[in-house]
Amino acid sequence: MSDFGPRAPHGPDMSGTHNPLEDMDVHEKGAFDQLIRPDDCYTQDGIYWADLPLMKKIKFVSSYDALEAKRELKGIWSMTKTDPLSPISHYFRNMVLPGAGLGLEGYVLFSIGNLKPLFESTFANCWKSKHGICNPQWVNAVDYLEIAGIIVGQILVGFLGDWIGRRWGLIQDATIMLLGLVMLTAAWGVTQNGWVICYAWSLFIYGIGVGGEYPMTATSGMENGVGSGKVSTKEDRLHRGRKVTSAFLMQGWGQFFNQALLIILLLCFHHGSGNNPYSAVATQWTYRVSFAIPAVGTLWLVYYRAYHMKAASKQLAAAKKKASVTGYDANSLRLTFKYFGFRILATSGAWFANDVFFYGNKLFQSEFIKVISPETHSVMPTWLWNLCNTGVSLCGYYMASFLVDSKLYGRKWMQIIGFLLCFVLFIVPAFHFEYYRAPENIKKFQAMYFLSSFFNQFGPNSVTFLVAAEVFPTPIRASAHGMSAAVGKSGALLASVLYNYIDTQTKFYVVPWFGLAGMVLTAFFLPDTTGLDLKEQERRWEFLRAGREDEYHGPAVHPKHLSWYERWVLRKGRFYDAERDYQMKVEEYRAEWEAAMAQKVTENEKSGESADTDESLLEGHVHTYFHRTSPMFKGMEKPVTAKQDSFALPPAAEADSEDTYSNEKSSR
């Protein structure tokens, strides 16, 4: 049986002679393997999954994924038998609540575009006429100030989240969004132009809170799954991406509910009719009630984050304590640009390209609606088609959540393929524009429109949100995510400005190339973190901070988890050495164990107890090995009384130790 080397400093004696310590060595070896080489990432021979040949890799990953799916389905069935509604409450608690802020902001942000045609129909002299009663610059500023507020929030709250903490960033976001919603609901002016100005600045305030939601939701959702200990759980390694993207997809549900509610409200206030002419009273009631409803939900969100998310900053606090940093970690930001500068280029550049696409997708909508309903002046056809498109987008969100953690597909390929297909679906109508506008070909146009929506969500829109936090270390994770998101939102700003000055045909010529650019940036500069334990990234970061980059040999520098640029140009993969990394981890755990034991001995001496009488110090095979090989406890003759069928993790890992799969491993 091949292996990378000794799995623990003391392995079993294969000579045929028997020693009383041999059984202990066997148990210690298994304990170290389970601790350092978990079976979801390593074969029984101790080979990392990414080191396997292609066919063996497919077999290993597929078999373990099937085992995990079986375990999850069994858990769902067990929950259902106990309480039929418990799976729903579990989904709400673990997927809906973490993404509630994004759901609310998705509801409000996309309502701006939905309400614009209603305002243009009702207040044509203000919103539509170039020489009407309202200043056209302020009418255009409705879009610009909204995006400007988001950019400010993404950068500002990203830094505050790394400085003050994730929890206060989350509370601050919800509070600012609540203020913005109150302003939007109550927006008024002596003249219609004054109302537009008030409306625009209310969107700016709301946008600041929205911008902060991006880095705060991504980082807190990811770090709550990882925890602050040295050992992460299988739940994190196997489902970290799903947890974050499941929170992000609430943005899609926010869009869906907004559009559905606007349709219902207009029918209610416009006497059951959705057709022109719309009265000012019906329009005012429709849009104000549509903003008042999420204001109630946002008020509850402020309460929930203030009183039920008190541990949101746990991992950040642990990282700062380890680095002896109390305020903002400016040194980590400097080192991030030094070592991960091209990652920032990848995350921000790809997000920029995606946002041009995301807003460019709206091009299809107006064009095929004009062909399908050439005589209509009602907003209802537009709203109904948009509702249909949002439903298609939700399918893309869920597919992304389902496959984002697959080691055989994962984040990077999902983003590359998503960008590629968006490029194709835009470039085809760009050069055959009149053909696809013809009524007899409009269904092909519709198909491309819906497919572009699907692959935008099942691709770059979901992945950019995840990887902008995942590929950076904890101390500056929110800052890096905020900067990437701000650059991305400038792509939306570019689209909203550019589309006012070029015709539809030209728009189709321009937009596709951003998809191609996003694909190239992703391929060359974005690392693939699918299947990578984030604790390995934190270990590597400790070496980088200490100026010992060449001494880290773990999976974070495996070629699989590096970008093409890092692998072939910077040659970071040359540091990877699985055997040396294993031995280093044993020594790292020893140092952590000795520090914890020294603290325990000191506490016992102060209380007048004898250290060798504390049974808790002698529990577990990992502890047993350190106990009998550490200079600290030489001369202690008390026999070991550890249970032979279990092992204890080092103190820092105890919180994560409950996620064990020993039965599954034996069955394989």
Measured distance CA(61)–CA(408) in Å, rounded: 8
pLDDT in tens, 345-377: 999 999 999 998 887 676 667 666 777 776 667
Residue whose entry in the numeric block shows the structure tokens 């040949």: 53
Burial class (CB in 10 A: 0-12, 13-18, 19+), 320: buried
Do 404 and 411 meet the contact criterion of CB atoms below 8 Å apart?
yes
Domain with CATH 1.20.1250.20 in the chain: 90-225+238-322+335-525
Measured distance CA(515)–CA(622) in Å, rounded: 51
CB burial of 255-276 (b: ≥16 within 10 Å; e: otherwise) equals bbbbbebbbebbeebbeeeeee
Where are the alpha helices (H) located in 249-329, listed in sequence order? Answer: 250-269, 280-308, 314-323
Flag whether pLDDT at 649 surpasses 60.
Answer: no
Burial class (CB in 10 A: 0-12, 13-18, 19+), 514: buried
Residues of the chain with pLDDT > 70: what percent?
Answer: 83
Flag whether pLDDT at 160 surpasses 70.
Answer: yes
**Cα 92 to Cα 97, 297, 558, 607, distances in angstroms:** 6, 15, 36, 47
pLDDT in tens, 55-98: 999 999 999 999 999 999 999 999 999 999 999 998 988 888 88
Range of lowest pLDDT (183-192, 313-322, 620-629, 659-668): 659-668
**Cα 5 to Cα 443, 540, 542, distances in angstroms:** 61, 22, 25
Flag whether pLDDT at 392 surpasses 90.
Answer: yes
Do 403 and 61 meet the contact criterion of CB atoms below 8 Å apart?
no
Range of lowest pLDDT (21-30, 110-119, 278-287, 347-356): 21-30
Amino acid at 583: Q
Flag whether pLDDT at 329 surpasses 90.
Answer: no
Q: What was the pLDDT predicted at 98?
A: 85
pLDDT in tens, 486-528: 999 898 888 878 877 888 888 888 889 999 999 999 999 999 9
Do 173 and 101 meet the contact criterion of CB atoms below 8 Å apart?
yes
Span 616-639, average pLDDT: 60
Measured distance CA(309)–CA(298) in Å, rounded: 15
Q: What was the pLDDT predicted at 377?
A: 73
What is this structure's pTM? Answer: 0.85
Q: What was the pLDDT predicted at 131?
A: 59
Span 125-141, average pLDDT: 82
Measured distance CA(511)–CA(451) in Å, rounded: 16
Length of the chain: 668
Span 579-586, average pLDDT: 91
Spacing of C-alpha 579 from chain mean position: 32
Neighbours of 66 (CB within 10 A): 10
Q: How confident is the model at residue 7 (pLDDT cuts 50, 70, 90)?
A: very low
Amino acid at 243: K
Q: What was the pLDDT predicted at 643?
A: 40
Q: Which of 603, 589, 665 has the alpha carbon at shortest distance from 30? A: 665
Q: How confident is the model at residue 338 (pLDDT cuts 50, 70, 90)?
A: very high
pLDDT in tens, 13-25: 434 444 444 555 5
Q: What was the pLDDT predicted at 498?
A: 82
Quote the crossing angle between the two packed helices 534-545 and 192-226, to the nearest 10°: 90
90-225+238-322+335-525 falls under which CATH superfamily?
A: MFS general substrate transporter like domains (1.20.1250.20)
Flag whether pLDDT at 100 surpasses 60.
Answer: yes
Measured distance CA(419)–CA(426) in Å, rounded: 11
Q: What was the pLDDT predicted at 291?
A: 94
Q: What was the pLDDT predicted at 445?
A: 85
Range of lowest pLDDT (329-333, 553-557, 596-600): 596-600
As a whole number, the mean pLDDT across the chain is 82
Flag whether pLDDT at 663 surpasses 50.
Answer: no
Do 185 and 175 meet the contact criterion of CB atoms below 8 Å apart?
no
